[in-house]
Each structure stands twice: as C-alpha cells, then as structure tokens.
Amino acid sequence: MLDPVWLRTFLVVAETRSFTRAAQRLGLRQSTVSQHVRKLERASTQQLFVRDTHSVELTADGEAMIGFAANVLDTIETAMNYFTGGELRGRVRFGASEDFVAGPLPEILGEFRRTHPRVDLELTVALSGVLHEQLRAGELDLVLGKRAAGEDGVGALWTEPLVWVGREGFELDPGEPVPLIAYPPPSITRARALDALRRAGRQWRGVCTSGSLNGLRAAALAGLGVAVFARSLVPAGLVELPAGHGLPDPGEVEFVLTARRAALHGPTAALSDAIRAGASRLHGTP
C-alpha cells in the first residue's frame, strides 16, 4: 500500500530538492521526512532519490512516482469531497503576465473565488519569463503567460500575431533609429521586437523600459515611440500602426497555461480548468 502521508512527503521533497526544507514546510522532523521516503521506497521496491550531503535528485523512478503520487492524492481528495460534501480547500500560487491584469482575468479569478471560497489564491504579476523561472523553481503552482511560438511541445491556449503599436497618428522617421518602448529582459515581446529589427538591419534606440504595462502605455501615449504587443492585448488608447509603417514583422506569440506536475490536482486543477474555460474571454474571441 502507498500511504498518502508518504506520498505527500515525497512530493514536497521532490519539489524542494531538500529534506530539510521539506521538513520545515510540513512541520515535521527531518528524521520523520526521511522515514516516510524510506517507507515509500520499500513499498515501491524502487529508489526514488539519489542524495548526498550536498544535493537531492530524483531517479527515473522518482520522476515517475511524481505523477502517480499526485494522481493518488487527487483521487483521495475527490473521494473525500464526494462522501463528506466538503468544499475544495487549499492554496494556489498563481502567476499571470502583466498583459492580463487590465483585462477579463480579474473577473475569472473573482468567479473562481466565489465558487471556491475556501481556496487561498496568491496572485503574482510579472513578466512571463520571470514567472516561468519561478514555476521551475517551485515558487508558483500555475502560470498564465506568453512564450515564443513553437518554443516547446506543450499545447498553447491560443496563438496570435505580434503587432507594432503607438498613439493615433504617430509617424516614424525612416532615417532615424526606431524609438522602442519595451519591457525589460527577459520579456518575450522585447526579444521578438529586437530580433525582428536586427534581422531587418534596422537601428533602434530605447526610449522607455518599464516592467509596468501602465508605464509602457504612458510612454506610447506621450508619443515617445512604438511598442510590440499581441494584437488582442493592445492597451487602451493605442492603435496598431497602419500598413506601410516599414517595420519588420515581429512574428507570433503563444499563450500558455503551465502547472507544476506535482501541483496539478485539487485547487490548482480547478483554477486551471476555470482559466481554460475562460480562454476565449482572455483574448476577445466569441
């Protein structure tokens, strides 16, 4: 039998890559955490971790156990909720890229909170690149953000073109470097804009760098320069530059919803389902 207590301990060790940090998070002694893992290894007849004084790494069987453990715990939680009528409980550390905070996402999150009032939702708003790094580090459970089109095999929620935008009536001087308004690295739209300009042999100069969507919008409304946005996320008051502006095509971007595999159950799975159901609202399609 695979004791759910052992499985839960295993998942926390797998996430933190540390028996010490796992013990702190679970409120257990480190010796108890080690005991749970040893019992799980004996029950499964497989070594799940390779550990020494400096590191803790998953074996191939340990990687496989993550999926099994998450499924077992999710099934137990579902069964308990069914038979006891209990409400969904827990915590979801959710990260959303800056582009979504001024759109329908708050409405979707509000609906989720009303449906699941006992779920603690922790929202982090940052650049997509930063959020994906935090997800890999185990600091977030679920991320809604951008990635370069075709970057990996995980299915995208949707794909759309990137476009150059500015204030109404803004005109570029073809003899001058392109005045660029952009997020700081590791911004995906910034990288795509710069790559397109380099491939086209166009010079550019940075006129505004801001980690805030409102900062970029203010700079563009002031007529300082041009920026790149996904077509459905062009900020209010700005417009796509008309045909013939002479700037290179910045390509496409994909929007993805990515979860830590160990966390994709219970509240995290419920929030993932809610966001997927509202994906058409997020990019303005019927």
Print the domain residue range for 33. 4-84
User: Looking at residue 174, what is its pLDDT?
Assistant: 86
In angstroms, the first-to-last Cα distance of the chain is 48
**Final residue in a domain of this structure, among 47, 64, 84:** 84
Q: Is residue 152 part of a domain?
A: no
Contact between 281 and 104 under an 8 Å Cβ cutoff? The reply is yes
Q: Do 227 and 163 share a domain, yes or no?
A: yes
Q: Is 65 within a domain? A: yes
Q: Do 170 and 129 share a structural domain? A: no
Let me know whether 165 and 240 are in one domain: yes
Same domain, 164 and 238: yes
Measure the CA–CA gap between 93 and 66, rounded to whole angstroms.
19
How high is the mean pLDDT of the chain? 89
Residues 249 and 265 in one domain: no
Residue 286's pLDDT is: 40
**Is 95 a domain residue?**
yes
Q: Are residues 196 and 61 in the same domain?
A: no
Q: Do residues 263 and 240 both lie within one domain?
A: no
Question: What tens digit of pLDDT does each residue of 97-111 get?
Answer: 988 887 789 999 999
Considering the domain architecture, whether residues 163 and 248 belong to the same structural domain is answered as yes
Question: The CATH number of the domain where 95 resides is what?
Answer: 3.40.190.10
217 and 267 fall within a common domain: no
CATH assignment at residue 19: 1.10.10.10
User: Which residues have a Cβ under 8 Å from the Cβ of 227 and sit 6 or more positions away?
Assistant: 164, 165, 166, 180, 181, 182, 189, 193, 216, 219, 220, 238
- What pLDDT does residue 115 have? 86
- In a shared domain, residues 236 and 272: no
In a domain, 46, yes or no: yes
Phi and psi angles of residue 150, each rounded to the nearest 5 degrees, phi first: 75, 20
Is 191 in the same domain as 206?
yes
Whether 154 is covered by a domain: the verdict is no
Count of structural domains, the chain: 3
Say how far apart CA 230 and CA 211 lie, in whole Å.
Answer: 16
- For residue 5, what are the contacts with CB-CB under 8 A and spacing of at least 6? 36
pTM score of the predicted model? 0.68
With respect to residue 16, please indicate whether it lies within any of the assigned structural domains. Answer: yes
Average pLDDT over residues 61-76: 89
Mean per-residue pLDDT for 25-45? 92
- Under the banding of pLDDT at 50, 70 and 90, the label for residue 154 is low
Domain co-membership, 133 together with 177 = no
